[in-house]
A and B are shown apart, each in its own frame.
Chain A
Amino acid sequence: MKTSRALPMSRSTVLAISVLGFALFVPALPSRAQEVKSRPVGFLTQTIPAGQTASFSIPFDPDVSSRPDAVRRVSAVGATYLDSEGAAWSPGAFSAPASPYAVRFTSGQASGRIFLVSSTANTASRLYLETDGFDLSSLQIESGATGASFEILPADTLATFFGANTPGDALVVQGGADARAADLVQLWAGSGWKRYYFNTLWNRWALDSDTEVDASRNNALLRPDRGIMITRRGGTPLVVAVVGRVLAVPHRAVQLGNENLQSLLATMQPGDTTLGSLALQRSDRVAGWRSSSDPAQADILSVWSGATWLSFFHNDSAGYWQRVGDWESNRDEFVIRAGVPVFVQRRASATTGVDRTIAFPAAIP
């Protein structure tokens, strides 16, 4: 809320706007593009018609933080932190829940991986990270004079992305007195959805199960490497427009776990792609992806089609992707639109346990 007011279009590089306001914002975008010098800038809109639900992710990185020393090398790595000697970060600047940050590695063993900066206050040269259960020191992240390079990127919360209905920070979704009347933003929590909406009585974001005494959910994090679902209950379409930098290195997403859990992952593909192009069965993309002629044994990839999920698996006997329940057709050419996240479900026996990452194709071939 505060950041988007103070730095319009520069924190998340994201606009979420009502269809009526769309034309007003578009002319501002070219000036945005002119700021980027080294990487292509992408622009993508998704329209969610009234009464429908869409899956959504941001296929771009935002600009690096405008704070000093946002592009650095790793000098040392601990279990939950990384150091960058000589950095002059303001202590705590990257650790405020209301304005979160993430780290994207751009070289080395961890290239393409993203970690959120934790709420433990950073020092001038140390960032504490949310490690997704990993010991960072076990990930072979290069350190020292030739340490891995990384960028510090602003991340979004419900309030910074969708607004908080405060002066200068208009709400762009439809709020309501309860979750049944409002637009819903749904975040996958591993085995179920967390459903958020803007409560107009409390004037803040809330979970559908919240009561007035519960804490504000304004700072609920929208992980940049994850997808979300948006249900539009307003009477007009919702246009969500995003701009950002196309990734310079292939994105590597981390799945939640290895026990059949599903993860809703952003593919970070700036254009439409296909199942055959994603090619998650390749060993250089995913360690131990399980292909099988039996979908009950295979790892599953699911895509939201508009009102339903479509599930696919890689049939190693046939040599191509097939849809669950539709075994006759080659679905290698099934199109996954830009910005559409994918659900990935790994079978327990097929995961390696150590490297739970899923590499997606390079955004820039």
Chain B
Amino acid sequence: MRRFSPLAAGIFSAAVAFAQPVELENFSAAGATGAVRPGSTWVGNVQRLADSILVGGTARDDNGWGGSSAGLDLSAMRYVTITGQRNAGNEAPFVVLELRDANLNPHVVSVSSSQFSNTSPTSVEIPLGNWAAGFNPSQVREWTIGGGTVGLLPFRMTLDQIAFAASGSASAPVITSQPVDLLVASGGGATFTVAAAGATSYRWFFGGTQISGATSATLQLSAATASSAGEYFAEVVNQNGTTPSRRALLQVVDLQGSHGIASGGPAGYNAGSSISFSATITYSGQPGTVIWRVVHPIDWQLTTQTSQVNPTSPGIGVLEWRWTALPASPVTITYTLSVPPETLGSKSITAQAQVTNGGLTGSVLAKPDPLIVSMAPRPHAADLNGDYRISLIELTRVIELYNTRNVALSRRTGAYLPDVSGEDGFAANPSATGAGKISRYHDADTSRDAQINLTELTRVIEIYNQRSGAVRTGEYRVSSGTEDGFAPGP
């Protein structure tokens, strides 16, 4: 089963000739340098063959085999070659080798288990890379091999040999991760990535033509158009040859989304009420699924909507419409969200249109991104006559609420509650003992606790004191960027 001739042993001596290959483990029944690690899932799951081990049973992808040495010098080594076969039932995505020096500093390398054939033993060469910080490669004392994680997935391998070498074999790079097919919306970005062991350079091709300047492991296309669609692949190069990647298909679809506050209603939200939005999705072709996803304030709730498809909520503050029976493009929906009474300030709503096709997904952010929803313009709750000025009488009413007392507690609480019969829609609440939740809040109550405190009263006084030259006007305006949604001045 060997891929290599037996290499110079001598792992128990630090006097290994420099740059000579070093065999770390041959897994032979008679000469193995390691053993099953006590406590690992490999205990009882390793079958010893004549010159290899077969890992099976209930073994998981922890590092279940390891050994120690008296101080192996690997400082001149640049590659490690692991020879093995991936067996049926293996789900471990990686094979991981850990080396440790005398102070237990580690150096870890890994390779995709897909590099090992599932029909015959394969020798996979892995660059050792730069030694890890603190690791002393001239004094390697211990090593382990396995899946490199905490033992999650079945590990099914036949392991045959681990050997180090100062130089790589005369082989072209080995691709460890292939570029995948992509689906993007027109105007969106696309990124292809290839990963390879032993690569010194890369070049990318589109439709058989090399792409100028595309010489890294990643190819980024900033704004895909219909002419961007097609096959892309990379060539991975080293001094020994060139390895082409698989050809990855880029699909570009026309996909657009837009949303806004539905016409016919207020231009913003009213706390304690509801607000309607309309959305339009435009797409081309015959995608498998069309999705409209909305991220809204987490405490806003869906009340009604017009689509025949009922939206789901895959997360807090997220609504998702998913059509598998495709409606004709453009798709228009209207939906209504309830706005909690305590809502203040501007809110943002983000939406995304998405299509899927053959397991691929392409998406685009709806415009505007985000949709800013401000409080609907209206007078301050203290402004009883709605003239966008706070007069002394109107200020006095807020002071009256501020002065609400709880007799039993014998102290001021500033508590109030909604009361449609009141001149301003509110009334003092002398029975309240502290903060509370109510169905509608006074604009002065910026902490939304059903109490007017001194800071909040001061804010109304600030508006009341607005001056124009030497004259107090009490003018104010709607302003979405302030604590209460208003600002002094015209």
Q: Measuring CB to CB, which residues of chain A are less than 8 angstroms from any residue of chain B?
A: 1-2, 5-6, 20, 49-53, 88, 90-91, 96-98, 123-125, 159, 164, 166-168, 177, 180-181, 184, 186, 193, 195, 200, 202-204, 208, 216, 218-219, 229, 231, 233-236, 305-308, 310, 323, 325, 331, 333-335
Given contacts A97-B316, A233-B93, contact A180 B153 (CB under 8 A): yes
Asked whether, in the complex, the Cβ of B98 is within 8 Å of the Cβ of A305, the reply is yes
| A305 CA / B149 CA spacing, docked (Å) | 11
Asked whether, in the complex, the Cβ of B315 is within 8 Å of the Cβ of A164, the reply is yes
Q: Is B278 an interface residue (CB 8 A)?
A: no
Asked whether, in the complex, the Cβ of A307 is within 8 Å of the Cβ of B352, the reply is no
Asked whether, in the complex, the Cβ of A98 is within 8 Å of the Cβ of B298, the reply is yes
Choose, from B108-116, B166-174, B221-229, B396-404, the stretch at the interface: B108-116
Choose, from B10-18, B99-107, B414-422, B465-473, the stretch at the interface: B99-107
Cβ-closest chain B residue relative to A68: B447
CB neighbours of A195 from chain B (8 A): 152
Asked whether, in the complex, the Cβ of A203 is within 8 Å of the Cβ of B314, the reply is yes
Asked whether, in the complex, the Cβ of A90 is within 8 Å of the Cβ of B447, the reply is yes
Given contacts A2-B298, A216-B314, contact A308 B134 (CB under 8 A): no
* Least distance between B148 CB and chain A CB atoms (Å): 4
Query: A-B pairs with CB below 8 Å: how many?
Result: 150
Q: Is B351 an interface residue (CB 8 A)?
A: yes
Asked whether, in the complex, the Cβ of B152 is within 8 Å of the Cβ of A236, the reply is no
Asked whether, in the complex, the Cβ of A180 is within 8 Å of the Cβ of B93, the reply is yes
Asked whether, in the complex, the Cβ of B110 is within 8 Å of the Cβ of A51, the reply is yes
B320, B350, B437: which contacts A168 (Cβ < 8 A)? B350
| A30 CA / B314 CA spacing, docked (Å) | 36
Asked whether, in the complex, the Cβ of A200 is within 8 Å of the Cβ of B361, the reply is yes
Given contacts A2-B295, A96-B298, contact A305 B435 (CB under 8 A): no
Q: List 26 A-B contacts (CB under 8 A).
A: A50-B177, A51-B94, A51-B111, A52-B94, A52-B108, A91-B435, A91-B449, A97-B316, A98-B298, A124-B435, A124-B449, A159-B315, A166-B295, A166-B318, A167-B295, A167-B369, A167-B370, A180-B91, A186-B152, A203-B293, A229-B149, A236-B195, A305-B98, A307-B96, A308-B62, A333-B103
Main secondary structure of the interface of A (DSSP, over half): loop
| A49 CA / B110 CA spacing, docked (Å) | 8
* Least distance between B125 CB and chain A CB atoms (Å): 15
CB neighbours of A203 from chain B (8 A): 293, 314, 320
CB neighbours of A96 from chain B (8 A): 298, 316
Given contacts A52-B94, A310-B104, contact A204 B314 (CB under 8 A): yes
Q: Measuring CB to CB, which residues of chain B are less than 8 angstroms from any residue of chain A?
A: 37-38, 62-63, 66, 91, 93-94, 96-98, 100, 103-108, 110-112, 132, 134, 144, 146, 148-150, 152-153, 176-177, 193-195, 217-218, 293, 295, 298, 314-318, 320, 342, 348, 350-352, 359, 361, 365, 369-370, 434-435, 437, 447-449, 453
Given contacts A2-B295, A52-B148, A200-B361, contact A235 B176 (CB under 8 A): yes
Asked whether, in the complex, the Cβ of A307 is within 8 Å of the Cβ of B369, the reply is no
**Besides A167-B351, A229-B150, 9 other CB < 8 A contacts?**
A2-B316, A52-B94, A53-B148, A91-B449, A124-B434, A164-B315, A166-B352, A306-B98, A306-B148
CB neighbours of B361 from chain A (8 A): 200
* Least distance between B12 CB and chain A CB atoms (Å): 17
CB neighbours of B176 from chain A (8 A): 50, 235
* Least distance between A238 CB and chain B CB atoms (Å): 13
| A124 CA / B449 CA spacing, docked (Å) | 8
CB neighbours of B91 from chain A (8 A): 180
* Least distance between B187 CB and chain A CB atoms (Å): 15
A180, A231, A335: which contacts B134 (Cβ < 8 A)? A335
| A51 CA / B115 CA spacing, docked (Å) | 13
* Least distance between A197 CB and chain B CB atoms (Å): 11
A123, A166, A236: which contacts B293 (Cβ < 8 A)? A166
Cβ-closest chain A residue relative to B195: A235
CB neighbours of B194 from chain A (8 A): 235
Asked whether, in the complex, the Cβ of A184 is within 8 Å of the Cβ of B152, the reply is yes
| A298 CA / B384 CA spacing, docked (Å) | 75
Asked whether, in the complex, the Cβ of A331 is within 8 Å of the Cβ of B193, the reply is no
CB neighbours of A167 from chain B (8 A): 295, 350-352, 365, 369-370
CB neighbours of B38 from chain A (8 A): 325
| A51 CA / B111 CA spacing, docked (Å) | 7
| A218 CA / B359 CA spacing, docked (Å) | 23
* Least distance between A228 CB and chain B CB atoms (Å): 11
Asked whether, in the complex, the Cβ of B150 is within 8 Å of the Cβ of A334, the reply is no
CB neighbours of B112 from chain A (8 A): 51
CB neighbours of B448 from chain A (8 A): 90-91
Given contacts A124-B434, A166-B293, contact A53 B150 (CB under 8 A): yes
A49, A98, A202: which contacts B314 (Cβ < 8 A)? A202
CB neighbours of A308 from chain B (8 A): 37, 62-63, 66, 98, 144
CB neighbours of A333 from chain B (8 A): 103
Q: What are the nearest 4 A-B pairs in CB distance? A: A235-B177, A51-B110, A307-B98, A51-B94
Asked whether, in the complex, the Cβ of B449 is within 8 Å of the Cβ of A88, the reply is yes
CB neighbours of A50 from chain B (8 A): 110, 176-177, 195
* Least distance between A78 CB and chain B CB atoms (Å): 16
| A51 CA / B112 CA spacing, docked (Å) | 7
| A91 CA / B144 CA spacing, docked (Å) | 53
B148, B153, B352, B369: which contacts A51 (Cβ < 8 A)? B148
CB neighbours of A235 from chain B (8 A): 176-177, 193-195
Asked whether, in the complex, the Cβ of B315 is within 8 Å of the Cβ of A20, the reply is no
Given contacts A52-B108, A53-B150, A166-B295, contact A307 B63 (CB under 8 A): yes
CB neighbours of A219 from chain B (8 A): 315-316
Asked whether, in the complex, the Cβ of A52 is within 8 Å of the Cβ of B106, the reply is no
Asked whether, in the complex, the Cβ of A51 is within 8 Å of the Cβ of B93, the reply is yes
* Least distance between A263 CB and chain B CB atoms (Å): 15
| A166 CA / B63 CA spacing, docked (Å) | 36
Asked whether, in the complex, the Cβ of A98 is within 8 Å of the Cβ of B435, the reply is no
| A184 CA / B195 CA spacing, docked (Å) | 20
Most buried by B among A52, A208, A216, A331: A52
| A308 CA / B447 CA spacing, docked (Å) | 52
Asked whether, in the complex, the Cβ of B104 is within 8 Å of the Cβ of A334, the reply is yes
CB neighbours of A52 from chain B (8 A): 94, 96, 108, 110, 148
| A76 CA / B339 CA spacing, docked (Å) | 35
Most buried by B among A125, A166, A323: A166
CB neighbours of B96 from chain A (8 A): 51-53, 307
